[in-house]
Amino acid sequence: MRKSYSSEFKAKVALAAVKEDMTLAELSRRYEVHPNLISKWKAQFLKEVPKIFADKRRKENKDSSVNVDELYKQIGILHAERDFLRKKYKQIFGKEPDL
């Protein structure tokens, strides 16, 4: 039967490998994992780390773009209402409103 490792354990071993305080052979003995597996986890760890920070920026930009779109929509509605009220004011009082 094949051993399965938790993601926490894999992260712990990969982080130890990235630190390079110990050789792969030492890490292998310490955590009882084959050196090839440690190398694989380390490579996967280094590949995925940049995505942690990139996703955060994308999410912030996505949230802000939604807010900007909503604000532009509201501005358009307010401009239409203002123009309508100016027109009606001029029809009723015969002059432009004093602002």
pLDDT in tens, 25-72: 999 999 999 999 999 999 999 998 888 777 665 666 666 666 888 889
Structure confidence at residue 18 (pLDDT): 93
- pTM for the full predicted model: 0.54
How far is it, in rounded angstroms, from Cα 76 to Cα 63? Answer: 20
How far is it, in rounded angstroms, from Cα 32 to Cα 25? Answer: 10
pLDDT greater at residue 68 or residue 83: 83
How far is it, in rounded angstroms, from Cα 84 to Cα 14? Answer: 65
pLDDT greater at residue 62 or residue 89: 89
Q: What average pLDDT does the structure give for the chain?
A: 87
Tokens of 70: 């909503």
Structure confidence at residue 61 (pLDDT): 62
CA 86 to chain centre: 44
How far is it, in rounded angstroms, from Cα 66 to Cα 55? Answer: 17
Residue ranges per structural domain of the chain: 7-93
